[in-house]
Every structure is written in C-alpha cells, then in structure tokens.
Amino acid sequence: MSVSNLDELFLHHLKDTYDAEKQLAKALPKLAKAAGSEELKAAFTAHAEQTAVQIERLEQIFEMLDKPARGKKCMGMQGLVEEGKEVMEEDSPESVMDAGLIAAAQKAEHYEIAAYGTMATYAKMLGMKDALRLLKETLSEEKATDEKLSALAAAINFEAQNAD
C-alpha cells in the first residue's frame, strides 16, 4: 500500500487499529478467565464489552471515508497479545498471575492510547469532526481502563509481593 499523504496515513492507522481491536476483543475474555480476582475479571469483561463498541465506532469512520471496514494485521498488538499468553502459561500464585495480567493489559492499553491519540490528531487536521468525536470517545475509554487497572494493581501488586 502506498502512503503518500495524511489521508492515506490516517486510513493506514484506521486499518491497523481495527485489527488491533479485533485481536483484543478475542484476548480480553481469555484474560478474564485467567484472572483470579473477581474485580479484575469484571474489569476485563467490562472492557471486552467496551471493545465491541469501539470496533463499531471504527466501522462508522470507515463508512464516513466510504471505505470498506477491513483491518490490516497489527503486528504491535500481535506481540502484546503473545506476551499476555506467555503470562497465562506461567504456573504462578494467583496474585502474581493477576499482577502479570494487569501489566500485559496495561501495555496493550497504552498502545491503544497512542494509536487513538495519533488518529485523533490526524482527524482534527483533516477536518473530520465526526470522526474526531468518535476517536476521542474511545480514547477516553482507553485512558479510563488504564487508570482502573492501575487502581486494581495497587492492591494486587502488594499481595504479589508477599505471595511466596
């Protein structure tokens, strides 16, 4: 794919993020299943539901651009999901497992925050007001999720410190 202007760069990131969200939509229920803490399970499940809405927002933006909603393999998210799998394969005490799951999930959230921040900047420059509004909604959800995970980590990391 040739990327020769900001419109095309925006579309590139839209496709990349669409694929990233789809990968996360599959991974989050697995994280919920692996989590020991009920609160952490609930946080992953809630974000899985939010992710379905975020995917719909991206589809709306594809429609605004008159482009088919089609993803392009997001290598960054693939690596982050892979790292999450590695955490789940460890035979760790519950609190250590949960701390590891939170760390993996927060890395993914930060990746998304960067992606949506970039896309929001481009949408603003390109004068795409409706797209900008949708991107900002998702961006604030990603930030809120990250903060929620930080709050849960405060107690869980402390438990993990005393796990063995």
Q: How far is the CB of 68 from Fe ion (least distance, A)?
A: 21
The interface with Fe ion within residues 68-97 (CB under 5 A) comprises none
Longest CA pairwise span in the chain (Å): 56
* Tokens, residue 12: 């590139």
Binding flag, residue 23, Fe ion (CB under 5 A)? no
* Cα 143 to Cα 148: distance, rounded to the nearest angstrom: 9
User: Applying CB under 5 A, which of residues 112, 120, 132, 139 lies at the interface with Fe ion?
Assistant: 112
98 binds Fe ion (CB under 5 A): no
- Please report how close the Cβ of residue 57 comes to Fe ion at its closest, in angstroms: 10
Q: What is the 3-state secondary structure (H, E, C) of 110-123?
A: HHHHHHHHHHHHHH
Task: Please tell me whether residue 142 binds Fe ion under the rule CB under 5 A.
Answer: yes
Burial of residue 125, with CB atoms counted within 10 A of its CB: 0-12 exposed, 13-18 middle, 19 or more buried: exposed
Report residue 11 as tokens: 């579309």
Q: How far is the CB of 51 from Fe ion (least distance, A)?
A: 5
> Least distance in Å: CB of 159 to Fe ion?
24
Other C-beta atoms lying within 10 Å of the C-beta of residue 107: 14
Which residue, chain included where needed, has tokens 């990233």? 20
Among 17, 23, 37, 54, binds Fe ion (CB under 5 A): 54
User: Binding segment for Fe ion among 28-36, 46-54, 59-67, 153-161 (CB under 5 A)?
Assistant: 46-54
